[in-house]
Each structure stands twice: as structure tokens, then as C-alpha cells.
Structure 1
Amino acid sequence: MATKIDYSVLAGDILKNVGGEENVSSVVHCATRLRFMLKDHSKVDEDVIKKLPGVITTVESGGQYQVVIGNNVSQVYAGLPNTLTDDSSNEKASGDKQEGSSTFLGKAVDIVSSIFAPVLGPMAGVGILKGLLAMAVAFNWIDNTSTTYQILWAAGDAFFMFLPIILAITSARKFGANVYTAVTLAGALLYTQLQAVSVNLNGEIVSMTLLQFFQEGGDVTFLGIPIVLQSYTSTVIPIIIAVWVQSLLERQLNKILHESIRTFITPLIVLVIMVPLTLATLGPAGVWLGNFLADILQTAYDFSPILSGILIAVLWQVMVIFGVHWGLVPVFINNVTVNGVDPLKAACFPAVLSQAGAAFGLFLRLRDPKEKALSGSAALAGIFGITEPAVYGVTLPRKRPFLIALASAGVGGAIIGATGAKVYGTGAPGLLTLPIGVDPTGESNTIGWLITATLVSFFLATIFTYFFGMTEEDIAANRAAREAKGNDEESAHPEQLEAPAALTSTQLSSPVEGTIVPLSEVNDPVFSGGTMGGGIGILPTSNKVYAPCDGTVKVVMKTGHAYGLRTADGVDVLVHIGIDTVKLGGEGFTSHVTRGQEVKKGDLLAEFDLEALKNQGVDTTTIMLVTNSAQYPAEPLTSSGEIRVGEPVVEVGEKETTSA
């Protein structure tokens, strides 16, 4: 039965091991990750964090320390102290400096992710709602002139209409600006196109918005300075730029003004300066920049829709791993909010569902209950758009399924590009967000191709992973799962390996290069007394340890100092590096095999720092024993001299039987 996780406790454990509250400049969360901006990354105890129940993995990208949780990230975030998660906690003092990546790319990724991550949930929700409404109209389930439709459409469309206000909040938190001043600034931009005012148009006093007045040929000026008005509903970049400049202005004003008047005089001066400045320069520049970035990608798409579809589909999950996918998010949103359609994001659907398909393929093939459960839950999360459990927990560690998923995504991306499939809303790609591929106007009918491309990628990844995605470790684990009865003795003493049932006569080769030491002379009474079995000791002169026989790895000590193998005939062989080396806690040891893996004689088991062990006064004598010598007598072939890797050193006799 799965252990129930206390997310408040998990939040406290994570915070403690990132250096405590005093080491956190800011923290936000997206759909699956806690994203920390830390003052000192050296204070992080990453090994502890990765082992916490509920933590999938950790990632450092864009100056952020990211803890991948999965679907329950919001519950962990809620368990963090209010001083970190309250709105006010992210409004930094004027002199504060948040540390992060010193590179331009790192800073850009950090800024974009911090601004957009908090709003992706609601954005996906309203995107799905608009897609479902479009589908309902297409199938004549609802009349788009009915008030029911209009009310639901308002619920879905309001987010995008007032997007500058929403982004003003997250931008202010990121840049350390006053949130409420930023919201007022964004509201002023929208006011010019939403609120009717009295203006003099060609000698006649009329009531219209300033934007309509400008579009009708009226002159809009501020203190004689001409202003080119734009539509700011649904825009992204203008308000981000404006709030950034606002934060710089506030910082300077707060240094100059006395604290007794700072609370109300700073917002007054900021609004008097920023509203006309934004309308005159920053706003139009932001609109131009957003359209420019979109035009670049659109030009690439126009040059070769198929190639663009393939590249986005193949590279999307790679970009997600490194966090640089945030650079495309504003372009996707800009395309939808300005043009009402985006031909680029459609290729992300095959990218996401192919990872889910690869995890599902492993779920169908794996036999180990824990691995099967992990793959199944990761596949389910991936189907609904959350790929971190699949990528970090299942496909990427095995490499082959991850690459199969990328190739499968490329096929889906090619279909997207070839058929011109598009999306008309925003949201994390997944099963529930497929409705954003429905054209609200009914002019396009590419939703079928979007679904087809997504399903093709999913099933290709599933099928090819099922047949070709298993690693040697997975194959060995499957074989062990069929034969074993729940042997979980990885942390047990090697001598506790279960008894075999076969008989053999064979030779074991030397696992290391060095000088032979008779077992009776080994400086450990447990080994030298023969209580653990017969065998031999070798004083190593090299730092690599190899398999002395063909077999299955049954024990890999977490400290990397001991390995248990079982031959096909049932002989249990222990290779123990050094005397009392368990106390080193794994320092100086590197494992090259895992439990359940099949190995051949001469395969590399481990490496160790021979000189470091000697400098610490550690006895490096490496022991090789047959731990079930009571059934399989083991005798050394020689008692002295130099030995090379692969040379026979122990003879294992036929299995001895005892009468009842």
C-alpha cells in the first residue's frame, strides 16, 4: 500500500534542505514544480531532497532550483511559510537584489517562467472552456446567439481580454514593484479602448473610446506629444516591459522620498509618468516586439510547415527539461491573443503524448510491481499534460524510451505541419486541452488532424517502447520478477542471499588485479574464519572491479563497496571491496551495475579510489566468496602470487546434498 504523504511536512523538509527560509529569495510553482530563487546554492542538500517521499527529482535551470513534485505541487506550495507565498512576500524592498543566473538566457528564462507559471492553470482552464464551447457550436449543441452561450463565453474570454491586468500582478511580484500600482497601470491601458469618453471629433462632441477616436482620425496627444494608440486587450509583452520600468522608477523614488509620504506620493508620481510613457512609447514598442518574435517563427513555419512541426515536436520536451521552453510561451500566447490562432503550439501535443505513450509501453511490458506502478501513473499524468513523472521518473533514466518518444513526436509534428493543424486557445497540451484545436469561427476543420497526429505519436511511442524500449536492466528485472518471490534484500547482508537449487562445477576468475591473500590471512575474523563461505582475498593494484563469472546482480550495496552475483546454476558469489569499507558511506566508490542486471564474466562492476583509501589507512584487500559454500564447496586454486583480472582463482565444486 502506498504511503500517504503529509504535504505540509514535505514542504518543511524541502525548505529545510534548500537552506531554510533565510536562503530563499522567492518561490513560485507551476503545474509540477516548486521554483526557488536561492541566495546560496551551496546550502542545498540535493541528495536528501531527491530521497524525500513525494519528490520526483530536482533540476537547476535559468538560475532557479526546481523541485519536481508532480500533480500535488500546489499542496506542497501551500505548506510553505506565508512569508514566502503571500503576495506581499514577493514585493522586494527597493534595494533587494535577487540572485540567479548571470547569463542573459538564464535571466530571461527565470523572468518568463516566474511571470507565466502562476497563471498557467487558469489559462488552461479557460482555454479548454472556449474550446468546448466552439465544439458545442460546431455540433449544434448550443446556439452561439443564446445568452447561455454568451455568459459562458464571457467566463472563458475575460481572462484573455484582461490578460494585461493579470500579468501586471505576476510581473510586479517578479520585479519587486507595487502590485496595486501595476494593476492600475494595466487598467489605464485597457481604459483607453473600453471606456467611452467625450471627445471633439471634427468640431462635434461625441462619446467614444480614445482608441475609436484615434482610429477615426482624431489626434491623441499628451502635453503636445503625439500618441499612437494600440489595442492592449490580450497583449503580453507591453505590460511586462511597463511594470519592469515601473519597478526601476519606484526604486529610485523610494530612495529619495521620506517614508512619511512615500506610501502615496510614489504611486502618484509613478502613474503620472508611466501611463503616458507607456501609451506613447513602451506599449507600442512592446506590441511591435511581440509581433516581431511571432513573425520570425511564422516565417519559419511558412518556409516549411512540416520541418517546423517536426522540430517543435522533437525539441519541446528537451526544452522543457532545461526550462528554456518558456521562451516560446509568450509567442504562443501572443499568436492566440492577437491573431486568434497559433500554428506552432499544435506540434506540442504529439511531444507530450508521446512521452505518455512511452511510459504506457513500459507499463505494459514491465513485471516489477513498483516499476509497473510508477510507469502506469506517469503515463496517466502524461495523458493529461503533466510529463515530468514520465520524463524524469521513467523514460529519461532509461534513455531508449525517451529517444523513442522524441522520434514518435517527430512523426506527429510532421502530420501537424503537413495538414496545417492549429490551435485557437492556450493551455498545457494534453487530452483535456485538445478542444482548443476547434476553430470558433467554424472556418477551419483541422481538429481531426490534431487528434490524429497526437494519437499517432502516442501509439507509436507505446508500440516501439514495448518492443524495443527495454534496457538490459529492465529485461533482467523482468526475468527476476518472474522467478523471485519479492526478494528485497538490497540493504541486507550479502550472506543472506537465498539458497539455490541447481548444481555445477565451475571456476571463478579474479575480479581485480593484484596479489593473492589467503582467506585465512584476511584481516577480518568474519571473512578469515570462513563463516561467510569459502573463497580468496586479493590486495588490489588497480582501481577497477570486474565480474568473476556470468550471472545476475542480486545485491548492490548502497555504499558501492559490495556486490552479490548469482550464476545460472545457483552459485552465490560475493565481491567485497576492502575491509570495513561500509563506514565510508560510499565515498570513493562508483557502481556500474544495478540490482537485477545480467552481467558477463569481465564486465565492469565498480571503480574505487585506491589511493584515497590507502591514504585513509583503509585495508583495501578485496574478498571474493561463495556465500553458499555449504551447498557449493569453494576452494582457491592458488594461495600466493600475482594475479590478473580474468585468471581463474577459485574452483566451485558440485552441489552437495544432505540426507533428510
Structure 2
Amino acid sequence: MHYQDTARQIITLIGGKNNILSLFHCITRLRFQLKDNDKADRAALEALEGVFGVNISGDQFQLIIGNDVDPLCNALLSQLPGIDSAFRPTQRRNPISVILEGLSNIFSPIIPAIAGAGILKGLLALMVAMKWVETSHQSYQILLAISDGVFYFLPFALAFSAAKKFGANPYVAVALTAVLFHPAIQTLFKAGGPVSFIGLPVPTVNYASTVIPVLLAVWLLGHVERIVDRFMPGPLKTMFVPLLCLLIVTPITLIAIGPVGIYAGNALSGGIIWMVENMGIVAGVVVGGTLSLIIITGMHYVIVPIMINNISTMGFDPIKFLFYIANLGQAGAAFGVFLRARDKKLKTLALSTSFSAAMGITEPAMYGVNIRYKRPFAAALIGGACGGAFAMTMGVKTYAFALSGLPGIPALVGPTFLWAVVSIAISFVCAAALTVILGFEESTQPVVAGVSPVPIGKSAEKLFAPVSGELKALNTLSDPVFADEIFGKGLAIYPTTGELRSPVNGKVESVFETHHALALQSDTGAELLIHIGIDTVKLGGKHFTSHIAAGQFVEVGDLLVTFDLAALKAENIDPSVILVVTNSECYGDISPVKETGDVASRDEFLTLTATAA
């Protein structure tokens, strides 16, 4: 790559110098802040030599570069005098982006509990429908409590998660929420007469399973807590900051925030129900056909609270099922690629990603296959529109919150179950058939260029686990760049410790300034990228300490980086340690010593086999 020439082309295609506000880079990506993202020519940028892809995250315009990111960034900055190159993860945040990211961070930690309970709820509904169990049986009642408990007391889980996002004390947030469920309050509400607090009327509403009131209350709590803490003397903070916060925020919640949140939630839910009931097939076509695009932008997080609220309060939701439709459309399109493709590697990739999409994990299929080859992605959207149209026409509903794939089928058990299954089949089959009919250009598959050959005389090399934890395949990661193996093959570990150690004997090629990522080259020529956590660049180095420098020689087991694992989890960040062999094309095979389970630091965990001469 000729860095200065490439830099000039990037500046032109990204909208010119006047469109660039700032630029910095992480271990693999150029991260721009642009005045207008729409001025950038994404297709032309993706076609540039050395650019593996384009991604937009919030307001940040990212070019995925790989090992050449540092010299290319320097070449860009040399042609952009006066451009801010400082790391500013909070610069120029769009309010909508902030809301979407906030909803994602709040709901992501609690969705596993909701999904697990939702599947049980669906199974119980199936058992009742098949008359395998009596609803009066004590065992059924206990199982019902297990499946329904998290939904009834959802405000508690939500308060704890929201407090971490809004900077409030999570335990004070739970205490605030507990007031809404206290027997004394419930007795007042159930008495039927007017309720007041110091002369102000308190509306009598039911807070069980609610979402919006708690989010608003905890948001206010975070602001009040910071104001009170600022003026409270140090020795009195522990007792009196929580006391004053509860005395200020709780009455406001009961009198105003809570009722407003209830009414807002009911209005949003009612609007969706009205759209489905009155626009049926149109709603199915529009939402079913565009939901994958909505998921890419992150806008679907706006819908999640509404869906959960509908299921919690009404026992069903009419929109959640369209997520199944969209996912099976992506699965069908990838399966169509498997049927049509001639290249064996592509067929294998398409089949595996089709299966994962059918299971509810669409990123590998969507980013790794369908979007890459363009026409399959269009086929997936059309398949979603067809399935959505049929589903809305037949009034299909979801009766529990679960993963939107085949494992979540029990959540569909109810009066519309049969039509739900037919709708899923329509989405999958239409997408697969259209992919086969429309075809695609296999030559568009990117090839990693500029990798160095593996030295002759080394038939195989073992890499050792850089950290202790649970093994994870790359395609299970939420970051499509790693999940789609754009930079090479490898493996991830969900860590149980905060010590990153060298997996090879070799040399430190580079250490990113925020210490969350580094590059190594082994003595035998393997080029490795190690990345701690997903999107940890936004932390600006917080929670990471580097113990090495570029150019340093290391041996297996040497300490490279320490990181605060608990703090990363508290920031709602996936702390997975990702190891990628960036010159994967030089090897005949890269395979894990074992596919799943736990691994200890310095255990053998990857085998690199050289290409036969």
C-alpha cells in the first residue's frame, strides 16, 4: 500500500477535508468524526486497496484497515493540518445515538434472564395446550412462578441495570423501586379512594412489569444523587446522600414520573397494536422487510422495552415475531448461497452461518455472507417482507420474550402457533429461493492481502492460551469484524482473570495507546492480533495497564497487560479476549485444540499448520 496515495483517495471519497472533524485509530480501524456521514462514498471506500470494510457506530465513521492502520493514519494526518487527532470517545454525540446506546446497555444484561424465563413460559403454555398438566397442580404453579417472576418484578432488574448506566447507586435504585411494590403503597392504591402526599394527588397505577417509569425514575435519581453528593460533607455522604435522594425522587416518581411513564408506555403499546390491527399486511411488509436494516442501525433497541412491556402486561406482543421473520430471512438467504455457491469454502461458511442465523444469531450470516454478496441480503429483506405480510394477516403473536430463532419457538405457543410456523417457513424459503434465482458474484469475496509467508521448515505451531477462561468461537462475538474473520482466523476466551500473557515466543510489534490491543509476531512467523473486550477503545485506556513496549521480545507466559475485569463488566462491556492470526492465509489449517470448555492460561489452545510445499 502506498500510504500517501491511499490517504489522498480516502480524503476525497470521505467528502473532502472540510467534512472531517477529527480522526484517530485503534488497533485495526480508522475512526472519523464527520460533519455529514452521507457525503462519504461507502462503495468506493470499500473498493480501495487495503480497506476491508466500512462501519458506522453511532456518529463515528470507521474504516476497517488492519495492520496498516497506524502508518495510514499518520499519512492522513499529514494531509489534514489542524484536524483534531485526540481520542475523544464522547465528542459530538447525537442525542438519538446516546438513547440507543443507553437502551442497549440497560437491556442487554437482563435479556438472558428474560429469554430463559420466556422459553419456560412457552413450554408451560404448550404443556397446558396439550393437556399434559393441570393448571391447578402445585408443580405447575411453582414452574409458573419461575417463568413469570422476572416479568412481574422486572422493574427491580431494570432499576439495577439502569443505575449502572445513569451513574446512580444501583442499590438505592432498587430501594426506590421497592417503594412502588411495598404493601403499604399497594394497600393505599387498592382501597379505591384518593391518595395524596403532603396535599399533592398520587395517581393509583399498577407498576408490576412496567418499564418506562423505572427508567425515568432512575435517570432522575442519577442526576439528583450527583447534585446532593456535590454539596454533602464527606463524613455524612454514606447515610445522607441516599436518604435525601429517596426523599426527593420517590415522591416525584409517585406523583408525576410513574404515571407519565405508565401512560406513555400504554400509548406506545396501543399505537403498535393499532398499526397491526388496522394496517395488517402493510405493517408486515414494511416492518418485516426492513427490520434487518433497523437492527443494523441499532434502532431496534427502541422497540425492545415496548415488546417486553406488552408481554408483561397483556401476555402477548404482535411485533416481536417479526424479529423471528427477519432472522429466518437472513438464514434462508445464507442457505441459498450454500445451494448456489461453487467455492467449497464459501459453501461451508454459508451453511454454518445459515444455521447460526436460524438459531437467532444473525451477524455472521448478515455481515459475513449476505451483505458481502449484496443480492442475498436483498433476498433476505424480501423474504422477511413476505413472511411478515402473512404473519400480520393471520394476526400472529408472541406470548413470551425469547431469542428470536428456532430455540425461541416455545414462546410462540398459543392460538396463532400454526400460522407462526408457516410464516417462518415462508420467510426462509422465499429468501433461499430468491438467492438461488438472483445469484451473486463469488469473486466479491475479499482476500487478505499483504501477508507474509510462513517460514519454510515449520510444519505446525502451537499457540498457548493468553488468559484463563471459557473458550468462544469468533462467530459468537457481537463485533462483525472479528465474527466474520475479516482479519483472520482465531479464537476468543471469556476471561476469569485480568492478566493477559504471551501466547508465543516472539516480538511485540505494536501496542495500542489505550493498551486494550497489541500485535505480536512469533519466532516462527505467526502474526497475531490480541484484542481485549468488544469496543473497549471507547474507554480511552481506563482499566488497562501495559507491561510491555513495541520491539520487546517476550516468551510464552510473560505478562503483557493487566486489566480490571470487574470494571469492564460494570461498564456493560463484553471482556472477551480475542486472538486472531492475521496472516491466516499463509496456513493450511488453524484449529482449536478443543472447541469448547474452559482453558487455563498457558494451556495449548490453537494449532497452526503450515501450507504444504
Report the TM-score range of the alignment, normalised by the length of the smaller protein.
0.5 to 0.7
Map of 2:145 onto structure 1: 154
Distance apart, 1:216 and its partner CA: 3.4
- Distance in 2, matches of 1:492 and 1:267, equals 60
Which of 23, 27, 43 matches 1:45?
A: 27
1:185/1:413 CA distance change after superposition, 3 Å: same
In the TM superposition, 1:175-324 aligns within 5 A as: 175-191=166-182, 195=183, 197=184, 210-324=185-299
Distance apart, 1:140 and its partner CA: 1.4
Residue 163 of structure 1 pairs with residue 154 of structure 2: yes
Distance apart, 1:449 and its partner CA: 0.5
Which of 418, 429, 433 matches 1:448?
A: 418
Map of 1:132 onto structure 2: 123
Map of 2:412 onto structure 1: 437
Which of 163, 169, 191 matches 1:172?
A: 163
Post-superposition CA distance 1:153-172 (Å, at most 9, x none):
11111111111111111111
- Distance in 2, matches of 1:264 and 1:58, equals 50
Residue 61 of structure 1 pairs with residue 57 of structure 2: yes
Map of 1:634 onto structure 2: none
Distance apart, 1:48 and its partner CA: 9.3
Contact 2:189 2:205 in 1 (8 A): no
Post-superposition CA distance 1:173-196 (Å, at most 9, x none):
1111111100111111122xxx3x
Code of the aligned partner of 1:462: A
Residue 462 of structure 1 pairs with residue 454 of structure 2: no
- Distance in 1, matches of 2:63 and 2:411, equals 30
Distance apart, 1:472 and its partner CA: 5.4
1:226/1:400 CA distance change after superposition, 3 Å: same
Map of 2:384 onto structure 1: 409
Runs of at least 5 residues in structure 2 that lack an aligned partner in the other structure: 1-21, 32-45, 47-51, 65-87, 454-485, 487-613
> How many residue pairs end up in the alignment?
391
Code of the aligned partner of 2:126: M
- Distance in 2, matches of 1:160 and 1:224, equals 33
Residue 398 of structure 1 pairs with residue 373 of structure 2: yes
The CA RMSD over aligned residues, in Å, is: 3.0
Code of the aligned partner of 1:247: G
Indicate the SS of the match to 2:222: helix
Map of 1:107 onto structure 2: 98
Contact 1:404 1:469 in 2 (8 A): no
Map of 1:589 onto structure 2: none
Contact 1:354 1:405 in 2 (8 A): yes
Post-superposition CA distance 1:185-222 (Å, at most 9, x none):
1111122xxx3x4xxxxxxxxxxxx3354343233221
1:227/1:492 CA distance change after superposition, 3 Å: closer
- Distance in 1, matches of 2:244 and 2:439, equals 62
Distance apart, 1:108 and its partner CA: 1.5
Code of the aligned partner of 2:441: T
Code of the aligned partner of 2:432: T
Indicate the SS of the match to 1:379: helix
Contact 1:306 1:413 in 2 (8 A): yes
Residue 333 of structure 1 pairs with residue 318 of structure 2: no
Post-superposition CA distance 1:598-632 (Å, at most 9, x none):
xxxxxxxxxxxxxxxxxxxxxxxxxxxxxxxxxxx
Contact 1:408 1:458 in 2 (8 A): yes
Contact 1:366 1:372 in 2 (8 A): yes
- Distance in 2, matches of 1:157 and 1:420, equals 24
Map of 1:35 onto structure 2: none
1:490/1:98 CA distance change after superposition, 3 Å: closer
- Distance in 2, matches of 1:221 and 1:143, equals 43
Indicate the SS of the match to 2:255: helix
% identity of equivalent residues: 36
In the TM superposition, 1:344-423 aligns within 5 A as: 344-423=319-398
Code of the aligned partner of 2:181: L
- Distance in 2, matches of 1:169 and 1:293, equals 24
Code of the aligned partner of 2:324: F
Distance apart, 1:258 and its partner CA: 1.2
Distance apart, 1:299 and its partner CA: 2.4
Distance apart, 1:67 and its partner CA: 13
1:65/1:280 CA distance change after superposition, 3 Å: farther
- Distance in 1, matches of 2:283 and 2:273, equals 9
Runs of at least 5 residues in structure 1 that lack an aligned partner in the other structure: 1-39, 51-55, 69-96, 198-209, 440-444, 478-486, 494-557, 559-660
Contact 1:412 1:454 in 2 (8 A): yes
Code of the aligned partner of 2:361: I
Which of 97, 104, 122 matches 2:113?
A: 122
1:257/1:223 CA distance change after superposition, 3 Å: same
Indicate the SS of the match to 2:139: helix
Code of the aligned partner of 2:27: D
TM-score, length basis structure 2: 0.60
Code of the aligned partner of 1:189: L
Indicate the SS of the match to 1:42: strand
- Distance in 1, matches of 2:265 and 2:197, equals 25
- Distance in 2, matches of 1:488 and 1:257, equals 58
